[in-house]
A and B are shown apart, each in its own frame.
Chain A
């Protein structure tokens, strides 16, 4: 009897365990967010919005663990080198293909930049897909606002793609099944989509920049500024002018003409104030900035040591000269990947007017004084910039102060965590000038240019002097290093000419086909369903 009991007990045990296991294998995702439990409320979309800002901000991130990483030292420099601005000093492996015009379809930054753009497009497309479906909004306008932000970022990413690669596949959704048969959409068609997106964004983004939910959020005017540029890309100069004027005449912005911000009581000038840390957002009194990418030193979410290596790129290695020591006041530590060319920065004033504040000692540092207390006999004496220190050892040359970023508590800090003005009104005027010039409105173009020059205390130019090169020169004076020089020169069709004319290093090397970058090999190889054509020359 006892034995029978045991057997029945085991049979019962078996059947109980088997029955209770019907949902044993279900998976419950708890430690990660999923789109279908995140994009379900205004708060969810707000985090999705911040996600797009984070990817956009990581545009030039080198090795940081932020939203995007190029895994290369010079993503920013790749768009400045082999133009009319600079030659390579320290020749990092990641910049050499660009500096020597030897880039190929496997060049790291060629691939990573493509990925950055499509990552941002994917993030935007994911937000868009769920925003269309969602019905749970805090405010009735939320849906349109988040859609507007997503469409802005999608257009912003395509802008980089068409500038660098020409025709690129236009995608406006996440593919549910894996596709390997993408084809290149003609550039004009992509630009048309960008215009649609930006017009929507302009219509639905907040209007009053002083009344945005978060400091750093996009407004209608950022969309209008970008629209002006994209219209220029499209050759639609009338609309480009209109969009630029919309921003200028909005009443919200003005070029800063008086000292402001954190260091307004220290020696300096207003142009230098624009680039002092904490002087970028409107909350600092800066009425010139239209869109500011947000960073914050030593703050979670504020970027890290691998963000924005422009300081390293532009500044000289003065500290390697005997008599110097690394100092925050001298801009911190430079790596001189971009050595400015003499034709524009010059030994003394370069192509700047004598009165131009953009050439003041506060904006271009030309006087360097030994600062190492360990060599008292040299201390305080001036160290001359010579051709050898400039072009051979890269240890000293006129330096752009706008990129100085020295941290006394960490002199070797690699990154720059100062907010980055992505669009500012001075550029809107220069876009206006470009639109008017293209239309043949020389006096209007000169007037737009002179607004910028007047603020800088430079002499005015006449409509008779107007050429596209004048505008491009002015963009250097005003925006060097802020704009992607490659974008500007490609848009105006002047890349080859000006590179050959001014660039002693890349000039002799640049080929006609270098106006476009190659399509990344990874894209061609993984797109097995159909042939993905490579750009000519690669």
Chain B
């Protein structure tokens, strides 16, 4: 489709040639056709009857002759004015002649911008009631004659018309607001683009404007909370680490649930953290079966389509974007003060070992190394040591422009991001270049390339060790080295012990997507071939020198690892697009090949003569030398067919079928077929809805059903694999290979696809001229033949094996609602609300409707649950601890229970606590998620705020599990309310309680985050002019402002482990300049 709109551009001029072949359609349709094939925009008033039905046949005719033919015998005339074609009726023209002759006119000058301060080029400006008209130039300037009292009218595609009454002044700068009715928005779908109004599937698009709402160095952060059903989890908030993305919950038990990412049309297997978000124009998310079905075997987890910015016709334009940020941990874990810590240890000693009186002296309680500081009164705040306020900056310079034949966009970016944990960092260079060349009327070629160099590295301190470290722990030795064991033999070392290690982690990523569009000599037929190539190398070198804990004992330890990865995708697409009267058909056929190959090698050694060579001279290591190499390859071969049919823009039909073959499946199961069907009904287009047009803009019903696959497993799982390890023979002997069948080494030759069938019903709506719009989608998806890593009795000779078994179901509802609460020329306030609710459950595991307790898979329950004992109370002195069983023996009700132990629920009521009393505690997936954005624009200022909430997700409550947290040794929470004989009415159990049967503690988390607040200002035109700029804006953003939750002992709420890399609050100053 891109091809079709591209081609005529080369024949632009006074007489751009167009091809229109329609019968019995409205005039409006024809005008749209011409607009889409040329750079022309039509301007007309209400007096032009665009709903008049016409027939047109034009094959490569100049626009002018087509128009002449079109308006033959009517009172409509047209005028070419720059890129605009103005239509007017003779009668109007005539009446206006009278006023045109006024002599009190003066020259009105000014400039026209969009809401961000970007000058608008080619805005049609007319004086109402006259035929005086003009357009804005490339800087957005205009000049027109008008008299006081007359009204200037501005029209521009995609913007609301603007009226300005002429007063005494001669200069009017005008800010036009974008049209919120986005029905004409073109959305990128798989293997093409479609008008949003013509979509039948569940597709959500985030454009450049929405992407720019949040200031972040990370692309995915920018779409977080903007798409219902797209759930982004930042489990590791360190710079350069990818988030995990889930579309509409989880279908698969074992196989990857991450969506397929398609970058500029080619599947992308790399890190999204590599991409410079400033080079991205839009992101589309395909959620339902129909939309995703064209990606067949890889579609069941949804698709994310990312489009890079392309060059636009026009003079070269240079822009600079800069971001400067300061970040800090959003909050910290409030651990015990030194006094509380000693009291805590005393409580443990008397409860655990029965110490009393003098035995509880700090001399006996604290370890020898802690005592050193204790005697001197030195204490340390370990979180202060490992966390920091970090400064980052990001710069991008881009150059864009083009002619009718050649368009280009180039960008160079540099990011230096420092993390809030000591030593965490990312330095990233991005180079982007895209060129499109129209060679002749049937051939257009183009290439998009990206080159990324990303450096991270540096050993970061152990966060858990910092949180749990003794306040009396010694930080550094007298010689300045980090003191290794501040708590002595505790396994909780000085968090900084290894930070002096050298580490370089550099990845270089080259992405080349090239394509050729060919118009074939059969009317409506075109061909496109795409070749995408991605080459990544990752080098990691680490050296633990003698100044690190790890390196000290072995006289230095070095390792290097290299990954050479490449993939290619070759796609051949045949398209046929014709309109026969009210019937539009659009056919797409595809053949594609894909290959991925990952070649890794590495080495390590210990015992170096000195630390000088770092990891650059592995051969100098004397001991424990290892070398590794590996190769993993996958191949995929696909055929796809899609048919879109559109009747009078009212009834839409999409049929898709795709066949995929994948190398990682068993010999007889390589291929699978995935069909889908989707229907759309533009109800508002029906004649019986005609009288609703004053309040209803759009109401569309979408229904789709189809199947998608999941092949996201590691290769070679169909084959038996041996593990290779080492053994040593004799004293000072040599290392020998030692192979054996590992517990997961048995292959399953029958492995095949996992298939998901999804039924989706959606409604798109827009009311009151775009003041309220949105969509509602509901879906049910059934997945069968799940690819599962299945636990089987180890007596088989293996304990885990990949297998296709079981069925799951997801159902859910997604609502997106946008309102324009207030709107006038100066002020606009918009609110967007996203809601998504997904319920997953296991329908069957092994075909017998029985639970699989080993894997914690329960029929009729969510896919990921916690299954454990339920803590109901705390055992107290005086409780009944034993009972007499049927044989008259005295048995303990809960083995090992003492006062202060957690009292577990006797679920089956047999009076004894054992495995049969375990219950499903809750789902690991949240009940629902909600996000709300508010945007306020007032003249040159704008303000936005983004909130998101995760509701009712069950997680382990680390802080309640004192045994596992404090281990009878470590520092714990300052405000901890734990059990002691003196504090029996406590929130948590005794610190020396050893968890019965290893059970854990759980909590139902609900947390609401203020993700982002931004205030921005677009500089006044007059100021910009003086600075010789086209456009300038500044903004200030605060990311991750605050998290509201009833639990505070968590550093990152997206991670179930309390001591994960903390969520950073960052203050970002952004500057955008266009020259």
Nearest to B968 among chain A residues (CB) is A91
A525 with B729: CB separation less than 8 A: no
- Contacting B at CB under 8 A, from A78-117, are 91, 93, 96-97, 100, 102, 104-108, 114-115
Asked if residues B791 and A522 are in contact (CB atoms below 8 Å), the reply is: yes
Query: Is B637 engaged at the interface, CB distance under 8 Å to the other chain?
Result: yes
Contact B995 A34, beta carbon cutoff 8 Å: no
Interface segment, one of B44-52, B499-507, B659-667, B834-842: B659-667
The answer to whether B562 has its CB under 8 Å from any CB of chain A is no
Instruction: Report the Cα distance A26→B667, complex, angstroms.
Output: 8
Query: Do A115 and B794 touch (CB < 8 A)?
Result: yes
Contact, CB under 8 Å: A6 / B520: yes
Chain B residues whose C-beta falls within 8 Å of the C-beta of A174 in the assembled complex: 741, 746, 796-798
Contact, CB under 8 Å: B795 / A54: no
Distance in angstroms between the alpha carbons of A180 and B485 in the assembled complex: 48
- B-chain residues with CB within 8 Å of residue A102 when the two chains form the complex: 895-896, 996
For A298, the chain B residues whose CB sits under 8 A away are 554, 606-607, 623-624
- A294, CB-defined interface residue at 8 Å: yes
Partner of A67, one of B738, B799, B995: B738
Are A171 and B484 closer than 8 Å at their CB atoms? no
Task: Give residues in B with beta carbon < 8 Å to A.
Answer: 352-353, 355, 359, 363-364, 367-368, 371, 484-485, 488-489, 518, 520-521, 527, 552-555, 570, 572, 591, 593, 606-607, 623-626, 629-633, 635-637, 661-664, 670, 715-716, 718-733, 735-743, 746, 790-799, 801, 803, 846, 848, 850, 852-854, 895-896, 914-915, 963-964, 967-968, 994-998
Q: Which residues from A are CB-within-8-Å of B725?
A: 51, 54, 66-67, 301
The distance in angstroms between the C-alpha atoms of A66 and B963, with both chains bound, is: 28
Which residues of chain A from 136 to 156 have any CB-CB distance to chain B below 8 Å in the complex?
A: none
Chain A residue at minimum C-beta to C-beta distance from B732 = A296
Q: Is the CB of B793 within 8 A of A52?
A: no
Q: Are A34 and B739 CB-contacts (below 8 A) given A27-B716, A115-B794?
A: no
Q: Can you list, as one digit per residue, whether each of A509-538 has a CB less than 8 Å from chain B (1) or not (0)?
A: 000000000000111011110000000001
Which chain A residues border B790 with CB–CB below 8 Å?
A: 178
Within 8 A of B (CB), among A293-313: 294-296, 298-302
User: Which of these, A7, A31, A278, A523, contacts B520 with CB under 8 Å?
Assistant: A7
Q: State in angstroms the CA–CA spacing of A121 and B967 once bound together.
A: 35
- A441 and B121 CA atoms in complex are apart in Å by 112
Q: Nearest CB to that of A213 among chain B residues?
A: B729
Closest to B735 in A: A301
6 smallest CB-CB distances across A and B, nearest first, come from A410-B553, A215-B730, A301-B726, A51-B740, A174-B797, A31-B630
Q: Contacts of B623 on A, CB cut-off 8 Å?
A: 298-300
Q: Among the listed stretches A314-322, A423-431, A449-457, A487-495, which one makes contact with chain B, having 4 or more residues with CB under 8 Å of it?
A: A314-322
Contacts A122-B797, A171-B797, A298-B623 given: A214-B364 contact, CB under 8 Å? no
Q: Tell yes or no: A448 within 8 A of B by CB.
A: no
Q: Does A35 sit at the interface, judged by CB under 8 A?
A: yes
* B801 and A36 form a contact (CB under 8 A): no
| CB–CB B729/A106 < 8 A | no
16 A-B pairs with CB atoms under 8 Å apart are A21-B593, A24-B637, A25-B663, A33-B724, A34-B720, A50-B726, A53-B727, A121-B797, A171-B797, A174-B796, A215-B729, A216-B729, A296-B731, A321-B368, A522-B791, A528-B852
Residues on the A chain within 8 Å of B632, using CB: 31
Q: A27-B715, A178-B801 given as contacts; is B637 within 8 A of A171 (CB)?
A: no
Question: Chain A residue with minimal CB distance to B527?
Answer: A10
The answer to whether A47 and B355 touch across the interface, beta carbons within 8 angstroms, is no
**8 A Cβ contacts from A380-419 to B:** 388, 392-393, 407, 409-410, 412-413, 419
Return chain A residues, CB-CB under 8 Å to B726: 50, 54, 300-301
With A91-B994, A122-B740 known, 14 other A-B pairs at CB within 8 A are A24-B637, A25-B662, A31-B632, A36-B720, A46-B736, A51-B723, A53-B727, A93-B995, A100-B896, A118-B794, A126-B741, A283-B731, A296-B728, A392-B355
Q: Is A377 an interface residue (CB 8 A)?
A: no
A107 touching B718, Cβ below 8 Å = no
Taking beta carbons and an 8 Å cutoff, which residues of A are in contact with B?
A: 3, 6-7, 10, 13-14, 17-18, 21, 24-36, 38, 46-48, 50-55, 57, 66-67, 91, 93, 96-97, 100, 102, 104-108, 114-115, 118-119, 121-123, 125-126, 169, 171, 173-175, 178-180, 182, 214-217, 278, 281, 283-284, 294-296, 298-302, 317, 319-322, 324, 333, 335, 388, 392-393, 407, 409-410, 412-413, 419, 521-523, 525-528, 538
A419 cross-chain contacts in B, Cβ below 8 A: 731
Interfacial chain A residues near B853, Cβ < 8 Å: 521, 525
Tell whether, in the assembled complex, residue B792 and residue A54 are in contact, meaning their CB atoms are under 8 Å apart. no
Check if A300 sits within 8 Å of B624, measured CB to CB.
yes
B637–A25 contact, CB under 8 A?
Answer: yes
> Which single member of A14, A96, A300 contacts B626 (CB below 8 Å)?
A300
Given contacts A14-B591, A104-B915, A300-B624, contact A57 B727 (CB under 8 A): yes
Q: A26-B663, A173-B797 are in contact. Are A281 and B998 (CB under 8 A)?
A: no
* Distance from A342 Cβ to chain B, minimum over Cβ atoms (Å): 18
The residue from B527, B593, B664, B738 contacting A27, defined by CB atoms under 8 A apart: B664
Q: How far is the CB of A306 from chain B (nearest CB, A)?
A: 12
B735 touches A123 (CB 8 A): no
| Residue in B624, B631, B796 whose CB lies within 8 Å of A31 | B631
Chain A contacts for B733, CB-based, 8 A: 214-216, 294, 296
Bound-complex Cα distance A21 to B636 (A): 10
Contact (Cβ within 8 A) B740 A67: yes
CB distance from A25 to the nearest CB of B (A): 4
CA distance A316 to B336 in the complex (A): 29
CA distance A171 to B793 in the complex (A): 12
Q: Is the CB of B740 within 8 A of A54?
A: yes
User: Once the chains are docked, how many angstroms separate the CA of A6 from the CA of B518?
Assistant: 10
Chain B residues positioned under 8 Å from A57 (CB to CB)? 727
Docked-complex contact B635 and A25, CB < 8 angstroms: yes
Q: How far is the CB of B964 from chain A (nearest CB, A)?
A: 8
- Chain A residues near B995: list those with CB within 8 A: 93
What chain B residues lie within 8 Å of A3 (beta carbons)?
Answer: 520-521
Question: Are A300 and B735 interface neighbours, CB within 8 A?
Answer: yes
Residues on A with C-beta less than 8 A from B727 are: 50-51, 53-54, 57, 294, 301
Given A67-B725, A412-B489, check contact A55 B740 (CB 8 Å): yes
Contact A13 B572 (CB under 8 A): yes
CB distance from B277 to the nearest CB of A (A): 36
B61 to chain A, nearest CB (A): 21
Residues of chain B with a CB closer than 8 A to A6's CB: 518, 520
Tell me if A294 and B729 are in contact (CB < 8 A).
yes
Residues of A within 8 A of B629 (CB): 31
